[in-house]
Structure 1
Amino acid sequence: MILQTKQLTKQFGGLVAVKNVDFNIEKRKVNAIIGPNGAGKSTFFNLISGVHRPSSGQILYKGEDITHLPANKVAELGLARTFQTTNLFEMATVFDNVVVGHRLRTRSNFFDAIFRTKRLKEEEERCKQKALEVLKFTELSHIGHQLVANISQEEKKRVAFALALATEPEIVFLDEPTAGVNPDETESLAYLIKKMVNQGITVCLIEHKMRMIMDLADRIMVLNYGEKLAEGTPSEINKNEEVIRAYLGGSGASA
Structure 2
Amino acid sequence: MILQTSQLTKKFGGNVAVKDVSFSIQQGKVNAIIGPNGAGKSTFFNLITGIHPPTEGQIFYKGEEITKYPANKIAELGLARTFQTTNLFERATVFDNVVVGHRLRTKSNLFDAIFRTKRLKREEETCKEKALEVLDFTGLSNVSDQLVANISQEEKKRVAFALALATEPEIVFLDEPTAGVNPDETEELALLIKKMAEKGLTVCLIEHKMQMIMSLADQIMVLNYGEKIAEGTPEEIKNNEEVIKAYLGGGSASA
Distance 2:61 2:46 in 1: 15
Q: Once the two structures are superposed, what CA deviation does each residue of 1:153-175 show, in whole Å capped at 9, x if it has no partner? A: 00000000000000000000000
Could you say which residue in structure 1 is the equivalent of 2:122?
Answer: 122
Distance 2:108 2:46 in 1: 28
Could you say which residue in structure 2 is the equivalent of 1:189?
Answer: 189
Distance 1:45 1:242 in 2: 22
Equivalent residue of 1:212, what SS?
helix
Equivalent residue of 2:53, what SS?
coil
Q: Once the two structures are superposed, what CA deviation does each residue of 1:231-255 show, in whole Å capped at 9, x if it has no partner? A: 00000000001100102569xxxxx
Could you say which residue in structure 2 is the equivalent of 1:15?
Answer: 15
Could you say which residue in structure 2 is the equivalent of 1:253?
Answer: none
Distance 2:104 2:17 in 1: 30
Q: Which amino acid aligns with 2:139?
A: E
Structure 1: runs of 5 or more not aligned? 251-255
Percent identity over the alignment is: 82
Could you say which residue in structure 2 is the equivalent of 1:174?
Answer: 174
Q: Which amino acid aligns with 1:150?
A: N
Equivalent residue of 1:51, what SS?
coil
Could you say which residue in structure 1 is the equivalent of 2:142?
Answer: 142
Structure 2: runs of 5 or more not aligned? 251-255
Distance 2:247 2:126 in 1: 46
Q: Which has the higher contact order (CA 8 A, sep 6+)?
A: 2
* Number of residue-to-residue matches in the alignment: 250
Distance 1:210 1:193 in 2: 15
Question: How far does residue 216 in structure 1 lie from its aligned partner after superposition?
Answer: 0.3
Question: How far does residue 47 in structure 1 lie from its aligned partner after superposition?
Answer: 0.3
Q: Once the two structures are superposed, what CA deviation does each residue of 1:32-55 show, in whole Å capped at 9, x if it has no partner? A: 000011100000000000000000
Could you say which residue in structure 1 is the equivalent of 2:34?
Answer: 34
Structure 1 runs, 4 residues or longer, greater than 4 Å off: none
Equivalent residue of 1:174, what SS?
strand
Distance 1:248 1:92 in 2: 44
Pair 1:110-2:110 in alignment = yes
- The normalised TM-score by structure 2 is 0.97
Distance 1:25 1:247 in 2: 24
Q: CA RMSD in A?
A: 0.9
